[in-house]
């Protein structure tokens, strides 16, 4: 949410920046713990999900994933290389068979972007087998890693997919919402219409590092905080995650939108005219306005455009 309120912009632009210390130590500790050690991606995802929905049955989800990993280990025991293992993983996830109780995982066409919070939970996906561009690539990577496959997340506008590196070092795009088929960069560029600049800066289409992948998983927490209007917490978590993933446009924009939310809540809804704003509030408002504007300018500098969408 970019805040450009012309009626008070003249007062805010000239106001001195007031340093704010938006800290939630307990929440920050939980987020930082996601990056500690060589944790399994399933544990990271379930931990993030429980920060949003504490009632998530993580123990049952772990059992399901462990069982699936055991099945795949048995099925792929004689597989010759990463491509053969990938074929088995595709079959296991997307084709009906005894291994999945004839209930393959499918794309949820009623909520393809995972806009309903419960549909972005890994435990929910394991139960109903209907996924989206968040849960589907994450589960695929979790299972692929258990098989010894080299996989990571990648971004496109409002979309996640998988980058898979084969034994020869070739990198392939796998579109997990469509059977994890091989998909060219050109397809994503045509379908999702990203700018040349966004590709050049690595905003989209590049393989994410482990830290960046974890930060992408944890964006769910920021989105949850935003929906609850917990703007201070959203800023604190975004700042922490951006230290691990500085080019995450989702986090950059969420941070800017959180400052915009504070500006609207604490200033715009309380003062009809700029002349009504007390001097001490102007300093605060000027800081909020500056941070909101700076976030969108930073995203645009990396090649993001408004039509790309935001959290």
**pLDDT tens-place string over residues 122-145:** 999 999 999 999 999 999 999 999
Domains of the chain: which residue ranges? Answer: 6-308
Instruction: Tell me the pLDDT tens digit for each residue of 210-245.
Output: 999 999 999 999 999 999 999 999 999 999 999 999
Which two tokens mark 21? Answer: 């210390």
β-pairing, 150-156 vs 159-165, is antiparallel
Look-up of token digits 């055991």: 70
Strand-pairing partners, residue 164, are: 151, 172
Mean pLDDT is lowest, of 10-19, 100-109, 199-208, 290-299, for 10-19
Which string of DSSP letters, residue by residue, matches 115-135? Answer: -SGGGG-HHHHHHH-EE-TTH
| Residue 87 CB coordination number (10 Å) | 13
Give all strands (DSSP E) within the chain, no chain letters. Answer: 106-107, 130-131, 150-156, 159-165, 171-175, 181-182
User: Which residues, other chains included, contact 38 with Cβ-Cβ below 8 Å and sequence gap of 6+?
Assistant: none
pLDDT digits (tens, 9 = 90+) for 103-128: 999 999 888 777 787 889 999 999 99
Q: How far apart are CA 58 and CA 154, in angstroms?
A: 25
Report the C-alpha gap between 275 and 281 in whole angstroms: 11
pLDDT tens, residue by residue, 154-171: 999 999 999 999 999 999
pTM of the model: 0.90
Cβ-Cβ contacts under 8 Å for 230 (sequence gap 6 or more): none
């Amino acid at each position: 949410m970019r805040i450009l309120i012309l009626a008070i912009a003249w007062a805010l632009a000239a106001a001195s920046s007031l340093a704010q210390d938006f800290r939630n130590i307990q929440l920050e500790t939980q987020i930082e713990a996601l990056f500690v050690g060589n944790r399994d991606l399933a544990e990271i995802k379930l931990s993030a999900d429980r920060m949003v929905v504490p009632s998530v049955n993580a123990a049952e989800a772990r059992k399901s994933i462990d069982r699936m990993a055991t099945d795949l280990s048995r099925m792929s025991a004689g597989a010759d290389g990463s491509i053969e293992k990938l074929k088995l993983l595709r079959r296991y996830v997307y084709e009906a068979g005894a291994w999945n109780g004839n209930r393959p995982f499918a794309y949820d066409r009623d909520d393809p972007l995972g806009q309903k919070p419960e549909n972005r939970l890994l435990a929910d996906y394991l139960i109903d087998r209907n996924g989206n561009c968040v849960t589907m690539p994450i589960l695929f990577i979790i299972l692929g890693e258990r098989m010894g496959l080299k996989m990571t997340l990648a971004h496109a506008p409002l979309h996640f997919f998988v980058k898979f590196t084969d034994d020869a070092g070739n990198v392939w795009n796998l579109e997990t919402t469509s059977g994890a088929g091989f998909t060219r960069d050109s397809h994503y560029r045509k379908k999702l219409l990203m700018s040349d600049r966004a590709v050049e800066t690595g905003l989209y289409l590049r393989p994410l590092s482990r830290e960046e992948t974890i930060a992408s998983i944890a964006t769910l927490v920021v989105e949850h905080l935003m929906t609850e209007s917990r703007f201070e917490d959203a800023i604190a978590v975004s700042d922490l995650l951006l230290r691990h993933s500085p080019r995450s446009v989702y986090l950059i924009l969420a941070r800017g939108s959180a400052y915009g939310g504070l500006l609207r809540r604490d200033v715009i809804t309380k003062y009809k005219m700029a002349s009504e704003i007390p001097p001490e509030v102007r300093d605060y408002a000027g800081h909020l306005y500056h941070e909101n504007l700076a976030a969108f300018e930073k995203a645009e500098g990396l090649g993001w455009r408004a039509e790309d969408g935001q959290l």
